[in-house]
Chains A and B, each alone.
Chain A
Amino acid sequence: MKELTMNATVENITQVTAFVDEQLEALGCPVKAQVQIDIAIDELFGNIAHYAYHPEVGVATVRVEVVQEPLSVVITFIDHGIPYDPLAKKEPDTGLSAEKREIGGLGIFMVKKSMDEISYEYKDGKNILRIKKKL
């Protein structure tokens, strides 16, 4: 298990992505899964950066764990900002025209579609969001 704790800012998304990618590469992660995980990081860490502590800045922890049989990676995002369950958000209507489309909820929807598991809990004053992806 490896983890990184840093300020939850948009500027730090690149660093979080590099931290996770390094471990994925060491595991021989297929490119497609890596891209899907990178997008998930952008959506999830980006959400924390934008909303968890707004307008203040706070820290977030990203933890990477490897699970065997089947080989999978579990990434946990932890912040102690305002309680927010992104999974409770209504799924976007992907059939609407450009004029009627709303962009809200699209990021978490993409993450749900591309990951094998996703879960949220609020515990001890922390938002804990976990994604699992088979490699």
Chain B
Amino acid sequence: MTIIKILDEGKLSISLEGRLDTTTAPELEEVLKGSLDGVSELIIDMGSLGYLSSAGLRVLLSAQKTMNKQGSMKVTNVNETIMEIFEVTGFADILTIA
């Protein structure tokens, strides 16, 4: 998976490319862990993400919890496959999908 990070003042945009699964989720977890200090707006762009498994959902949930305390989080460009996963798991109600 490729992770592209753009920080503009308090706004952090993260673009994901590939698959967010058991193998790659720890990479995203690591990036988020070191990047969320002072961030009030987090945008996760899934335009180039093929799919995600529960390991990816775990990282998204943890990011959402952090951002609930310090600002907002938005997930963008969600494809049909990923949207279905969000719906089945109830994540469609937890995340802000734009």
Contacts and interface: CB of A to CB of B under 8 A. Distances in A.
A10 B65 contact: no
A15 to B, nearest CB: 11
A13 B23 CA distance: 8
Contacts of B53: 39, 42-43, 46, 107, 110
Interface in B14-71: 19, 21-23, 50-55, 57-58, 61, 64-65, 68
A97 interface: yes
Interface residues of A, number: 27
Nearest to A113: B88
Contact of B90 (A10, A11, A95): A95
Central interface residue in B51, B52, B53, B54, by most chain A CB within 10 Å: B54
Contacts of B57: 103, 106
Contacts of A46: 21-22, 53, 55
Interface in A1-51: 10-11, 13-14, 32, 35, 38-39, 42-43, 46, 49
B51 A35 contact: yes
Contacts of B93: 95
Interface residues of B, number: 23
28 contacts: A10-B23, A13-B21, A13-B22, A13-B23, A35-B50, A38-B51, A39-B51, A39-B52, A43-B53, A43-B54, A46-B21, A46-B22, A46-B53, A46-B55, A95-B93, A97-B94, A98-B65, A98-B68, A99-B68, A101-B90, A101-B94, A103-B54, A106-B58, A106-B89, A107-B53, A107-B55, A110-B53, A110-B88
Interface of A: 10-11, 13-14, 32, 35, 38-39, 42-43, 46, 49, 92, 94-99, 101, 103, 106-107, 109-110, 113-114
